Structure 1
Amino acid sequence: MGTKKRLAVRIMASVLLLGMLGGCGGNNQAGNESGSGNAGGDKVKLTMWGAVPPENGPQEVVDNWNKEHPDVQVEYVRFVNDDDGNLKLDTALSTGQNVDLFVNYTLTNLDKRVKGGTALDLGEFSDYNIDEKMGTDAASWKIDDKYYGMPTKKNAQFIAVNKEALDQAGLALPKAWTWDEAREYAVKLKAEGFKYGLVQHTTPFVDSLDSVMVKNGYVKPDGSSNMDDPLVTKWLETLNGMMKEDLTTPPLGEQLTSKMPVENMFLSGEAAMINIGEWLLRSSNNMTEFPREFKIAFAPIPRLTENEADFIKSGGLGDLISINAKSKHKDAAWEFLKWYADGGMIPMAAGGRLPSSNAVDQQTAIEHLLGDHADTYDKESLEFMLYGDKTPTFVRGIAQEVVDMRAQEYEKYFLGNQTAAETVQNMVKRHNGWLKQNP
């Protein structure tokens, strides 16, 4: 073959090769448009981690968003809100797994993630005022005066009460009361044929203790532990009396070892009252699994202090959603977060999660909250607990080590292994040791 013919063959081969490469490039572009998430007008895929089961609202939320925003698709991943579940989330964040948004359920976990550099400072966005939209309670979630997430849910802690039992016992539904009064109610309600007058979910079990600590200070002016506040002893002795003298509430040891389903006990009519939060309605609206014939009314959490003006309750705002500081799609995540907070999360209301943004109509939220079962609730008392009670609120923000240390000591007391005085003494000693190590 001559030189000119060989050169022509090479040129033609090069042209064919370029054409094939161009075709491959076109195929890759089509693949990107179907969701690979690369640049060039491609679809963005966001992954949001939360603890609520998908069927209780989150899946409907992301489905609604995905229909409205074909270029930004969101996938919901559930983790369980316990130590193992939070470790799973933290591992995913630290190892660069797919997490663009994630929900923080405690200030303690948020603080850990901020220190780990995985929660984005939302101050880099200027088109949304969290304080104006969410109100003054939002500030409880600030760390170093910065928002590393947006609180999206209105928290509500309350005593849910079997209204029929209350009426039969001739008891008024309180709008403010003490633990001494709640103890009396529990005795009278148990006499109506209930196994227990009051049961408590483990989550809000120590809220009354923290109410005292937040109000009076975890630490005294001299820098030492304030866990010997007299109201701490009052809390211990009141609950212990209900467990062992009145038999109106389950012994804590039995509740923990048996993983007692206190929520089911209330809904099945075994217990007349339960200390719980708004998540109760996720179960109480499920008449298939939890059929009931009684109406549920709502009362405030009792206070340990006699002076109502000194009372501060657990509550405020919750479900703080952060953007992963390492996300490749921060702007898209921010757009989703604003949409979610200002009404996109409404399907979550049926599971007890009321939007905290003032962009959402309160009555609309309550209608979604109660669904088809509004007539099975005392709506007036529920609205009072959600919007009428103006008692100041707190979000627990102490270190997890202190929470665990304190629990170890009061559990010994409720198990009968040490006295109330010894329990307080040990809590103070261990807290002081922690304070020295963590100045």
Structure 2
Amino acid sequence: MKMQKVTLTLLSAVLSVGMIAGCGNSTNGSATKSSNAPATDAPKKETATLTMWGGVPAESGPQAVVDAWNAKHPETQVKYERFVNDDAGNLKLDTALSVNQGVDLFVNYQLPILNRRVDAGYALDLSEFKEYNIDDKMGKDAASWKIKEKYYGMPTKKNISFVWMNKNMLDAAGLQMPALDWTLQDMTQYAAKLKADKRWGFVQHTAGYSNIMDGVSAGIGFTKADGTSNLDNADLKPAYEGFFNMMHTDKSMPPLGEQLTSKMPVDTMFLKGESAMLGAGEFVFRSANDLKTNPRSFKIAFATIPKASKDSKDYKYAGGLGDVISINAKSKYKQQAWEFLKWYADGGMMPLAAGGRIPSSKDVNPDEAIKLLLGANEATYDIDSLKKVVFGKFPTQVISLPSQVVDARREEYEKYFLKNQSLDVTLGATSKRHNEFLKQNKK
């Protein structure tokens, strides 16, 4: 009996302990379990993946840029999407923006196109970011890209148009490097002295025929005070007459008709020594630095695009800033896109310098940019003239004419250079077509 009582007592104690343990598990089981298990990781942050659209082939610098960023920013990754900077390519980008599909940042190459995207609500007003001063970083030329006094994109590169010069031919002709403010009449005289058998004095890339016209119009205004076209202003005549005289009087420049029908490769002609001077932009560096494809034994020097005449008032040189990068107003990663954009502008874009895209930020070392631009070919260039032209202080302009007016003007000046109509008729027809556009698009 006594043994039975002890056994019951022990059994009662065991059951009591079990009940207590059971109660503990039921009320604080998770805490007990977690105290014995490894600590759980904090929730992982979502990786922000940005897509940047640009017109430069990925292998020409953009891929190296995003690879460098991605290696240091695992929390924000960037993909590059290339679009061709033509009507079809810009339509492709605009379509993607309209449906908000895969666009966080995008590059604008023409002011009228950026204007259109701002009106459509695609581009974010960058004034919401207060810690970065675009005017201070990029200089006064950046203001050309303001829309309603605000930035809807950040200019990131120097837009450079200039005259490429065969320094060896210049020296052989006894010609000095031209002054920075030389005129179209000066260039006409140089071209006449530099021409020779099987060699033009000057060739002009088709995209740059209007550079001098725009330089004049930027100073006097594309429209008059009453809002009508100013593209028939008499101050524009020297810009037309200089090219006409080189084509048809001095014959130091190919006639435009011959250039268009033969699809004349003016860049290659200059690099082969078939022309002493070339009017073109920084994009020629890609070919000029490819000495395997374009071998040459001469040194290249640089001059500014000439003024229309010594009397040109408030003339503005072709150039300014370009590659204006906007943030999609509907991107869900606006802050991350802004951080990338600042990094890109202040030096991250340096891999593009090898292809001629010189960063415009004051934080970028110009000597470093030139070294990347020229690579191992530095000895084949006149560095002093390059620095004066590329980093000189000139009043510049970014073309603001809508593409429809640019096309209409080109159609009219081609008739003049082809000797199909007089200069006065050309200017009058250009002004008339501009006025028609202004009337149709009056807001």
Out of 391, 394, 408, the position equivalent to 2:394 is: 391
Cα offsets for 1:22-60 (capped at 9, x unmatched):
xxxxxxxxxxxxxxxxx9612222111111122221111
Counterparts of 1:133 and 1:208 in 2: how far apart (Å)? 28
The match for 2:351 is 347
Provide the aligned C-alpha RMSD in A.
1.7
Q: Look up the match of 2:410.
A: 407
Tell me the residue number matched to 1:199. 203
> Which residue pairs with 1:437 in the alignment?
440
User: Do the aligned partners of 2:270 and 2:276 also contact (CA within 8 Å) in 1?
Assistant: yes
Q: Partners of 2:265 and 2:79 in 1: how far apart?
A: 31
Residues 156, 359 of structure 2: 8 Å contact kept: yes
Runs of 4+, deviation exceeding 4 Å: none
Aligned to 2:36: none
Which residue in the other structure is 1:190 paired with? 195
Report the TM-score when normalising by structure 1: 0.87
The one-character-per-residue Cα deviations of 1:238-278 (angstroms, maximum 9, x if unpaired) are: 21221222222222233334432211111121111111122
Residues in 1 aligned to 2:107 and 2:350: alpha-carbon distance in whole angstroms: 16
Picking from 90, 103, 110, the partner of 1:106 is 110
Could you tell me which residue of structure 2 aligns to residue 426 of structure 1? Answer: 429
In 2: Cα distance, 1:89 partner to 1:254 partner: 35
In the aligned structure 2, how far is the partner of 1:336 from the partner of 1:156?
Answer: 25
Count of aligned pairs: 399
Determine which of 162, 170, 177 is the counterpart of 2:166: 162
Paired letter, 1:316: G
8 Å contact from structure 2 (residues 220, 313) kept in 1: no
Question: Does residue 1:116 correspond to 2:143, yes or no?
Answer: no
Is 1:82 the counterpart of 2:77? The answer is no
Correspondence 1:273 to 2:277: yes
Structure 1 distance, partners of 2:44, 2:177, is: 61
Higher gyration radius (CA): 2
TM-fit CA distance, 1:307: 3.6
Give the letter for the 1:273 counterpart. M
1:73 matched to 2:70? The reply is no
The answer to whether the aligner puts 1:239 opposite 2:259 as a matched pair is: no
Residue identity over aligned pairs, in percent, reads 56
Question: In the superposition, relative to structure 1, how do residues 307 and 160 fare at CA in structure 2: closer, same or farther (>3 Å)?
Answer: same
Aligned to 2:98: 94
CA distance in 2, matches of 1:260, 1:237: 22
Partner of 2:233: 229
User: Would you say 1:211 and 2:215 are equivalent positions?
Assistant: yes
**Equivalent-residue separation in structure 2 for 1:353 and 1:320 (angstroms):** 12
Query: Tell me, which stretches of 5 or more residues in structure 2 are unaligned?
Result: 1-42
User: Which stretches in structure 1 are left out of the alignment for 5+ residues?
Assistant: 1-38
- Name 1:17's counterpart in structure 2: none
Shift of 1:432: 2.2
Q: In the alignment, residue 268 of structure 2 is paired with which amino acid?
A: N
Distance 1:255 1:77 in 2: 34
For the residue of structure 1 that corresponds to 2:201, the secondary structure is strand
Query: SS where residue 279 of structure 2 aligns?
Result: strand
Aligned partner of residue 94 in structure 2, secondary structure: helix
Partner of 1:159: helix, strand, or coil?
Answer: strand
